[in-house]
């Protein structure tokens, strides 16, 4: 694993394209700078610069690294500032975890109410899959989780926040649209399917596959995305169809239409998308308590009437 010093060295050379000038900028001499770059190249197994005594140019690998290097360094600086800020006794920090889907529904609400009613609270927002949120809640790294119901862990309490279901998103001119009524899942057999990325929305990925399997239909996945608007954009573009939470219909481009899943045997029970708010009962942060109170509403089923 490389060091941040090596990344800084790399960025300086990549921007100056001259080892001597870069060294001067970093307040060091050229030879150790040269060696840091070589160490980095060895670490990454990649030549980062094509260089002679007269020219220094970035390779493809170097050009790939540069924006990421900058981003990592920026994050390191920002992180240092965040930690100092909290440490200096500013308003309590609350770390909120949310799933990709909660980011489209429950999170905006929480943000709104927090901004209105608790302007002094510093929210640290982390998009995490539900299992990682639960780990974070157990360990104290996450104060509040917006996650799907999973196996309870000792010390973690939760409460229903939202209940939803999946609906079919079709291109405007799809032959599957019919008269506007529910569509059988079997009718989706073999159609190009826009699917949730397993890294960011594994629950939905798995739920969709379970729905297909229960209907004996083949899920022909041709594209992945982690965000519902991206999936819907693919549908609008005619790349295929997808299943999204009913609550996401408000995000739809105009060239997308929605249909309910026909509630055949097995589908009705499977097609359930719950969202909970969870926290660690040993969490003593009063700002967390206050945020939880903001979310103290009964479950609601969202979707068009």
Partner DNA sequence: CGCAACGATGCAAGGAGTGTATTGATGTTC
Partner DNA sequence: GAACATCAATACACTCCTTGCATCGTTGCG
Residues that bind DNA (CB under 7 A): 3, 5, 18-20, 27-32, 34-39, 51-56
Q: Which of 26, 215 has the CB closer to its own copies?
A: 26
Binding partner selected for residue 64 from its own copies, DNA, none, CB under the kind-specific 5 to 8 Å limit = its own copies
DSSP string, 69-128: HHHHHHHHHHHHHHHHHHHTT-SPEEEEEE-TTGGGTHHHHHHHHHHHH-TT-EEEEEE-
Binding partner selected for residue 155 from its own copies, DNA, none, CB under the kind-specific 5 to 8 Å limit = none
Q: Which of 242, 285 has the CB closer to its own copies?
A: 285
Binding partner selected for residue 192 from DNA, its own copies, none, CB under the kind-specific 5 to 8 Å limit = none
CB of 54 to DNA, least distance (A): 4
Q: Which of 145, 207 has the CB closer to its own copies?
A: 145
Q: Which of 18, 109 has the CB closer to DNA?
A: 18
Q: Which of 130, 285 has the CB closer to its own copies?
A: 285
Binding partner selected for residue 213 from DNA, its own copies, none, CB under the kind-specific 5 to 8 Å limit = none
Binding footprint of its own copies on the chain (CB under 8 A)? 1-5, 14-15, 17, 43-47, 57-61, 63-72, 75-80, 82-84, 86-87, 92-93, 95, 108-109, 112, 115, 124, 126, 136, 139-143, 223, 229-230, 233-234, 236-237, 239, 249-251, 253-255, 285, 304
């Amino acid at each position: 694993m490389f060091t941040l010093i090596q990344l800084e060295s790399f960025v300086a050379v990549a921007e100056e394209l001259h080892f001597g000038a870069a060294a001067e900028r970093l307040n060091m001499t050229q030879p150790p700078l040269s060696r840091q770059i070589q160490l980095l190249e060895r670490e990454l197994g990649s030549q980062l610069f094509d260089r002679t005594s007269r020219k220094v140019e970035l390779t493809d690998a170097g050009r790939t690294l540069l924006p990421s290097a900058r981003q990592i360094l920026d994050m390191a600086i920002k992180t240092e500032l965040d930690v100092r800020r909290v440490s200096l006794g500013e308003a309590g920090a609350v770390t909120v975890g949310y799933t990709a889907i909660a980011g489209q529904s429950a999170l905006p609400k929480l943000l709104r109410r927090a901004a209105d009613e608790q302007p002094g609270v510093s929210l640290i927002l982390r998009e995490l899959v539900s299992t990682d949120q639960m780990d974070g809640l157990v360990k104290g790294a996450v104060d509040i989780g917006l996650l799907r119901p999973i196996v309870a862990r000792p010390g973690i309490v939760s409460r229903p926040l939202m209940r939803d279901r999946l609906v079919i998103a079709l291109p405007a001119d799809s032959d599957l649209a019919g008269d506007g009524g529910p569509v059988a899942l079997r009718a989706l057999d073999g159609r190009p399917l826009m699917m949730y990325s397993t890294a960011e929305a594994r629950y939905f990925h798995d739920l969709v596959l379970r729905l297909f399997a229960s209907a004996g239909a083949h899920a022909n996945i041709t594209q992945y995305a982690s965000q519902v608007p991206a999936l819907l954009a693919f549908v609008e573009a005619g790349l295929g169809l997808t299943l999204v939470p009913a609550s996401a219909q408000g995000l739809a481009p105009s060239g997308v239409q929605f249909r309910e899943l026909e509630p055949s045997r097995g589908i009705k029970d499977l097609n359930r998308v719950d969202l909970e708010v969870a926290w660690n009962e040993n969490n003593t942060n009063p700002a967390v308590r206050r945020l939880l109170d903001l979310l103290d509403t009964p479950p609601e089923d969202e979707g068009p009437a």
